[in-house]
């Protein structure tokens, strides 16, 4: 795979999965623009690591719930390191409340980040690519929860299902412009939103619940994202790459 000379934007770029994706793409010579809600100081060490790989990398503190912040991030990226043609929508949050107890504010906030933030990011980047006559790749980091209900995280399940349909609608509309849209849907990842829960369960219990016998590491998710970004991957669009270790084939996870 060779993505050298291309520019990628990654939301949630300082999270465990975001960092893994950035490092994987850096190996391919991709210039990187990361965004997260964390401060620039918190990004410094990681930017230095990316640059040590010979990668151009910048960071922008941005709240994806604000469309103007997203526009400013993409504009800065284009001016600083190039028009982004690899768009990795990775930012996400999860609220552990049943539908009986979750507040409307919590529900709306989760959709604002997981769905509306992805919409703003992908639309802004796609509009710019189309204006410039560029082809590209959009990859959504979704979840197996998009098609398996979990009463502990109702807003997460619903928002990831909405994200999946958004991705398929985008794929249909953007195909004529040479922009593909696909989703990587991990299961239980030893990172970010689920790592604390996994650690508390213990390895033996996890192996009993997941058919392949273990959780997913962020690097595995990153590798799948990188495959979808490959310029040779021209005809795969509107697809979901389910990487859950067979978890969705069982009824063991609650």
Whether 145 has a pLDDT exceeding 60, the answer reads: yes
Residue 86 lies in a domain: yes
Domain containing residue 25: 7-189+217-242
Q: What integer pLDDT is reported at residue 205 of this predicted model?
A: 64
Whether 233 has a pLDDT exceeding 70, the answer reads: yes
Beta-bridged to residue 138, according to DSSP, are 87, 181
Contact 125, 46 (CB under 8 A): no
Q: CATH number of the domain that 76 lies in?
A: 3.40.50.720
Secondary structure of the chain: what % helix, strand, coil (to 5)?
A: 50, 15, 35
Residue 109 lies in a domain: yes
Token reading at 154? 């109702």
Q: How much of the chain, in percent, has pLDDT values that exceed 90? A: 78
Whether 250 has a pLDDT exceeding 80, the answer reads: no
- Nearest-CA neighbor of 60 among 81, 51, 49? 81
pLDDT class for 18, splitting at 50, 70, 90? very high
> Is pLDDT larger for residue 210 or for residue 176?
176
Contact 172, 239 (CB under 8 A): no
pLDDT class for 14, splitting at 50, 70, 90? very high
Contact 144, 123 (CB under 8 A): no
Buried-exposed string 152-175: b where 16+ CB fall within 10 A, e elsewhere: ebbbbbbbbbbbbebbbebbeebe
Q: What pLDDT, in 10s, does the model give residues 159-202?
A: 999 999 999 999 999 999 999 999 999 988 887 666 555 555 55
- Kindly list the distances between the CA atom of residue 174 and the CA atoms of 62, 89, 96, 182, in Å, as whole numbers in the listed order: 26, 16, 35, 12
The domain tally of the chain equals 1
Residue 247 lies in a domain: no
Whether 122 has a pLDDT exceeding 60, the answer reads: yes
Q: What pLDDT, in 10s, does the model give residues 75-119?
A: 999 999 999 999 999 999 999 999 999 999 999 999 999 999 999
Q: Which of 126-135, 142-151, 207-216 has the highest mean pLDDT?
A: 126-135
Q: What integer pLDDT is reported at residue 214 of this predicted model?
A: 74
- Please give the mean pLDDT across all residues of the chain: 91
**For tokens 């270790």, what's the residue?**
245
Strands (DSSP E) contained in the chain are 7-11, 31-36, 57-61, 86-89, 136-141, 179-186, 240-243
Whether 204 has a pLDDT exceeding 90, the answer reads: no
Is residue 53 left, alpha or beta, with left meaning phi > 0 and alpha meaning psi from -120 to 50?
Answer: alpha
Residue 1 lies in a domain: no
Q: What integer pLDDT is reported at residue 194 of this predicted model?
A: 64
Residue 204 lies in a domain: no
> Global pTM?
0.93
Residue 253 lies in a domain: no
pLDDT class for 203, splitting at 50, 70, 90? low
Whether 56 has a pLDDT exceeding 80, the answer reads: yes
Q: What integer pLDDT is reported at residue 209 of this predicted model?
A: 76
pLDDT class for 62, splitting at 50, 70, 90? very high
Residue 198 lies in a domain: no
Residue 74 lies in a domain: yes
- Nearest-CA neighbor of 221 among 180, 192, 254, 251? 192
Give dist(CA 221, CA 229) in Å, integer: 13
Q: Which residues contact 192 (CB under 8 A, 6 or more apart)?
A: 15, 16, 17, 218
| Sheet architecture: strand order including 7-11 | 57-61, 31-36, 7-11, 86-89, 136-141, 179-186, 240-243
Distance of CA 13 to the CA centre of its chain: 9
Q: What integer pLDDT is reported at residue 201 of this predicted model?
A: 53
Q: Which residues contact 235 (CB under 8 A, 6 or more apart)?
A: none
Beta-bridged to residue 7, according to DSSP, are 31
């Amino acid at each position: 795979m060779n993505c050298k000379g291309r520019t990628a934007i990654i939301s949630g770029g300082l999270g465990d999965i975001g960092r893994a994706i950035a490092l994987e793409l850096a190996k391919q010579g991709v210039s990187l623009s990361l965004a997260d809600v964390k401060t620039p100081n918190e990004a410094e060490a990681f930017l230095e690591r990316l640059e040590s790989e010979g990668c151009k990398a910048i960071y922008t503190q941005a709240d994806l719930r604000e469309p103007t912040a997203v526009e400013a991030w993409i504009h800065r990226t284009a001016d600083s390191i190039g028009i982004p043609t690899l768009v990795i929508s990775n930012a996400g949050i999860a609220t552990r409340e049943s539908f009986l107890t979750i507040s409307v504010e919590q529900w709306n906030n989760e959709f604002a980040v997981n769905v509306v933030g992805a919409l703003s990011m992908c639309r802004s980047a796609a509009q710019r690519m189309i204006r410039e006559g560029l082809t590209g790749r959009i990859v959504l980091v979704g979840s197996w929860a998009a098609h398996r209900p979990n009463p502990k995280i109702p807003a997460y399940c619903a928002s990831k299902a909405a994200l999946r349909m958004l991705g398929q609608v985008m794929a249909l509309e953007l195909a004529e412009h040479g922009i593909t849209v696909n989703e990587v849907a991990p299961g239980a990842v030893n990172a970010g939103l689920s790592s604390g829960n996994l650690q508390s369960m213990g390895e033996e219990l996890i192996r009993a619940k997941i058919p392949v016998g273990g959780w997913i590491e962020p690097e595995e998710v990153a590798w799948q994202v990188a495959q979808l970004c490959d310029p040779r991957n021209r005809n795969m669009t509107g697809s979901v790459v389910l990487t859950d270790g067979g978890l969705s084939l069982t009824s063991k996870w609650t």
